[in-house]
A and B are shown apart, each in its own frame.
Chain A
Amino acid sequence: MSFLSAKFLLYVAAVTFLYYVVPKKKQWIVLLLASYFFYAAAGVKLLAFLMCTTLSTYGCGLLVSAIDLKYPDRKEKMARQRPVILATLFLNFGILFVLKYMNFVIDLVRPGAGHVEWALPLGISFYTFQSVGYILDVYWKRTEAEKNPFRFALFVSFFPQLLQGPIGRYSRLAKQYKEEHSFSLLKLEHGVQRMLWGYFQKFVLADRAGVVVTEVFNHDLNYSGITHITAVLFYAIQLYADFSGGMDVVIGIAEILGITLDENFRQPYFSVSITDFWHRWHITLGTWMKDYLFYPMSLSKWMSKYGKHAKKVFGKRTGRIMPIALSNIIVFLVVGIWHGSGWKYIVYGLYNGGLIALANLCTPLFEAMFRITKIDPKSRFMHVVRIIRTFILVLISFYFDIAGNLRIALRMLKASVTGFTFRTLTDGTLLTLGLEKKDYLILLFGVAAVFTMSLFREFGHDIRLDVDRKALPVRWVFYLILFFSVPLLGMNNIVGGGGFIYARF
C-alpha cells in the first residue's frame, strides 16, 4: 500500500477512527492489527520474515532476562547470555544478508552466474535494526524484556514507521504503546500539518528534482561536467526532500495516533562537518550505529590493544585518536553496506568514515593553522565556510550513492572537475533534462520555502507554535494554501515509480 495512494489515506483515517473509538486499553491491539494488515497487503508470505524476526528477538529478550535473574555470577551469566544473543543476531542479520546481499556476493564469487530472484520484505533493514537494538538494550539492562509477545510485535511492526523508519528505541516507544490516548483536535491538526508538509516536499521538490537526476545519471556520457554537478545538486534536493518528506508523513501519522517518534533530520545541510552531518541526517541510524556498534567496538578489548599499539607507533596524541578513527571507518563501512549491496555503497561508507577519521587525526593540524593565520574558527564567516565545505563533501559522497555503479560514479566525478563549461547552464541544456522553465521556477520556490523553514528551525524558532498562535482565519488560509499547493505544484509520478526512496530499504 503506497504512502502516496488514496487507499493509504483512507486506511490511516479508518485506523485513526477505530483507534479512538475502542476502549483505550485496547488501542494498542488496533495498532497491531492495522500494522499486520498493512504488511500483509504487500504480500502475506513476507509476513513470515517479519514474524521470524519478532519471535526470535522476543524470545531472545526473555531468555536473556531470565538468565540475568537466575545467575548472579557475572561471568556465568555472560557465558550463557552471549550464545543466545549471538544466535539471534546471526539469524536476523543472516536473513537480511541473504535477502539483500546474496546477489552481490554471487557477483563477487562467480561473476555472471545469474542472480537469485526474491522479494525483499518491506522495511527489513529498519525492523531488523530496531529489533536487534532491543535485544542489546535488554542485554545491557537499558530496558526490561517485554513479556507480552503481542505488544512486542507492535514495537517491531508499527505500520507508519515500518517502511522507512525512524529506527525506534524500545524504551521510548513501548511505554507510548501502553499509554491510553485520547483524541485531540490539536494532535490531529499537527499531524495533518506535518503530513502535508511531507507530501509537499515529496511531490513538489523530490519528484521534480528526480527527473533531472534520473536523466543525467542514466545518460551521463551525454552531458558535460557542469550538468553532472547540477544533477548531483538536484540529487541533494531530491534525497533530502524525499527522505525528510517521508519522515514528516510517518511522524505526522504517528502524531495523530498520539505516538511521538524520534526525529530523523535536523537541518543536515547546515552541518559544519561530516560528523555533524551524520548527527543531523538519518539521525536514528546514526545513533543506532553509535550506541550498538561504535561504543561497543571502541571500548572492546581488541580496540584497547590496538590503541596501546598505536600509541607506541604514532605517539601518544595520534595513537589515542587511532582507535576512534578506525571505529569510525568500520561504522561507516557498515552504514554504506546498510544502504545497499555493491561496491559503490562500500566506497560511500568508506568515504564518509575516512573523512571523519581524517578530520579527527588532523584536528591538531587545523588548530595550528588557525593559530598561525589568526583566523577565529568560531567566527560567523568561518561557520559559513565550513557549511559550504561540508556540503561540497556531502555532494561528492552522493555521486557514489546515486550513480548506477562505482565506475560511473568515478567517471562522473572526473568529468565534473575536468570536462565542464559554464555555457551549459545558459545554452538551454537544462531545458533538455526533462523539466520545463516553470518546473525550475517551482523548484526554486520550493527550495526557498524549505530553506526558510530550515533557517528558522536552525535559529531555534518553533514554526508550529508560531502557526498555532495565529488567528483561526490566518491558520485556515495557511492550511488551504498547503492543501492546494501539493496537488497544484506537485509533479506527476513516473510510471511504476514515485514511491519514497528509503521505502526500498
Chain B
Amino acid sequence: MRGFKPYLRVVLFLLLWFAISRFLDFGLIPWNYAESDIKRITTATYDDLFIGTSHGANNISPAAVDQETGRKSTNICLPREFPVDSYYLIKLACETGHKPDRVIYELDPTYWTLLEPQDANSYYIYRSFPLCLSKLLYFKGKTMHLDWRFTLSPWRDYTDRFKDFFQLIRQKTTMDHETFQRVHLDDKNDRLTEDGQIAKTITEGMKRGGYEEVIPFSPDRVQAGSLKWFLNIASFCKKEGIGFTVIRTPVPKETREHFAENYAAADEYFTQLFGSYGISLIDFSKVPDPELEKSEHYVDADGHMDETLAAYFSTVLGKYLKKQ
C-alpha cells in the first residue's frame, strides 16, 4: 500500500490538471455552429448530405434544393472545413446510423492549396464530436498530428475571453446548443438555418471582401493531404454504397475574369483529376447564368452569397441534382 501512494499522487495530480483544463474549456470556449450541425446529422433523417467549406455553408439552402429534388437534404458545410474534416463528418453520420443516400461535396480549390494553420479553428469541428469511434479515428487521422497544446488545452486560443468566463458558464448551463446559437452566434449578417445553411444578409455599411481576400488556385500548390483525404471520402462513399457528387459554387463574373488564369488552371486540374477517378463534377462557376454572375448579391469577391442569391442558386443546383 505504501508503494502505491506515490502513484496515487501522480494520478491525483493528473486529475487535478484535467479538471482545471476542462473547466477552462467550459468557461472560455463558446459553442459554435459545428455543435448544431453535428447534432443534426446524428439525429435527423436525410437523403442528401452537403459537405464542404464556407461557400457551401452560405450558398446552399437545403430547403430550396429539396423543393426541386423532392428529397430531404441537410448541409454540414462549415468554415475551415478541410477534406479531412469532411471525411470524419461523413463517418460520424454513418456511425450514428444516419447514412445518407448521397454526399454532395462542395469543392473550394483554395482549401486544396492551403496548409492548414494551427489554431483553435483547426480543432473546433473535432471538439464538437460526441465521444465515439469516429472521434477516436478523427484524433488519429488529424488531431494528434497537430500541436499538442491545442489537444491538451483547447482553451488556449480563447484567453481573450477571460472577462466573459462566468457569463459563458452561466449561458452554457442554462441553454441548449440551438438556443445558444440563436442568441449568441446568429447576428444581423449570419443566421444558421434549421437545415444547416449559414444564411447571409447584406446590411448597410457591411464591409464586403475584395480581390485581396481571394486566394488564387495554382496546381503546383496543391497539398498532398487534401488530395489524400478527398480520395478517402470518395472511396468511403463507394464502399458504403453512398452516391458521390462534387460541385463548385459560382463566383461573380468579375472575379472569374480577374483570376481567369487561375480558374482555367483549376478547371483543367480538377476535370483531369476527377475524370481519372470517375467522379462527376458540376462546376457552377462555369454555368452561364446571368443571375449568378451579378456581384451585388455576393458578400465578397470570393463567391459567398447572400440569402436571396443562395436560394436562387440552390434552386438551380436542385435541378441539376434531380437530373443525376
Contacts and interface: CB of A to CB of B under 8 A. Distances in A.
B147 interface: yes
A498 B150 CA distance: 14
Interface stretch (B5-13, B43-51, B77-85, B258-266): B5-13
Max chain A C-beta neighbours (<10 A), residue from B13, B148, B152: B148
Contacts of B9: 472
B143 interface: yes
B16 A203 contact: no
B240 interface: no
A488 B161 CA distance: 13
Interface string A59-86: 0000000000000000000000000000
Interface stretch (B29-37, B95-103, B115-123, B272-280): B115-123
A113 interface: no
Interface in B182-197: none
B146 A486 contact: no
B159 interface: yes
Contact of A6 (B16, B152, B156): B152
A439 to B, nearest CB: 13
Given A480-B17, A488-B159, A185 B149 contact: no
Contact of A484 (B20, B115, B147): B20
B255 interface: no
Interface in A14-54: none
A9 interface: yes
A10 interface: yes
Contacts of A5: 144-148
A490 B143 CA distance: 19
A253 to B, nearest CB: 14
B156 A495 contact: no
Contact of A492 (B13, B16, B116, B119): B119
A498 to B, nearest CB: 7
Given A6-B143, A480-B16, A484-B20, A492 B118 contact: yes
A90 interface: no
A54 B147 CA distance: 32
B67 interface: no
Interface residues of A, number: 26
A10 B6 CA distance: 22
Contacts of A182: none
**What DSSP secondary structure best describes chain B's contact surface?**
helix
B149 A490 contact: yes
B144 A498 contact: no
B16 A4 contact: no
Nearest to B115: A496
Contacts of A2: 145
Interface string A461-501: 00000000000100010011001101110101101101000
Interface in B128-162: 143-149, 151-153, 155-157, 159
Given A488-B159, A492-B157, A476 B147 contact: no
A189 to B, nearest CB: 8
Chain B interface bracket (under 10, 10 to 19, 20 to 34, 35 or more): 20 to 34
A7 B149 contact: no
Contacts of A9: 148
A10 B144 contact: yes
Contact of B145 (A7, A484, A498): A7
A8 interface: yes
Interface in B212-234: none
A486 B149 contact: yes
A12 to B, nearest CB: 11
A293 B249 CA distance: 64
A7 B144 contact: yes
B307 to A, nearest CB: 33
A498 B118 contact: yes
Contacts of A488: 153, 156, 159
B56 to A, nearest CB: 23
A438 B75 CA distance: 40
A476 B148 contact: no
A185 B148 contact: no
Contacts of B151: 6
B115 A487 contact: no
Contacts of A7: 144-145
A147 B266 CA distance: 58
B9 to A, nearest CB: 7
Max chain A C-beta neighbours (<10 A), residue from B7, B115, B147, B151: B147
Nearest to B12: A476
B144 A483 contact: no
Contact of B17 (A203, A483, A486): A483
A488 B13 CA distance: 19
Max chain B C-beta neighbours (<10 A), residue from A476, A480, A483, A498: A483
12 contacts: A2-B145, A6-B144, A8-B148, A9-B148, A185-B7, A185-B10, A476-B16, A487-B155, A490-B149, A492-B147, A493-B147, A495-B115
Closest 6 CB pairs of A and B: A487-B153, A487-B156, A6-B151, A6-B148, A487-B149, A7-B144
Interface of A: 2, 4-10, 185, 188, 203, 472, 476, 479-480, 483-484, 486-488, 490, 492-493, 495-496, 498
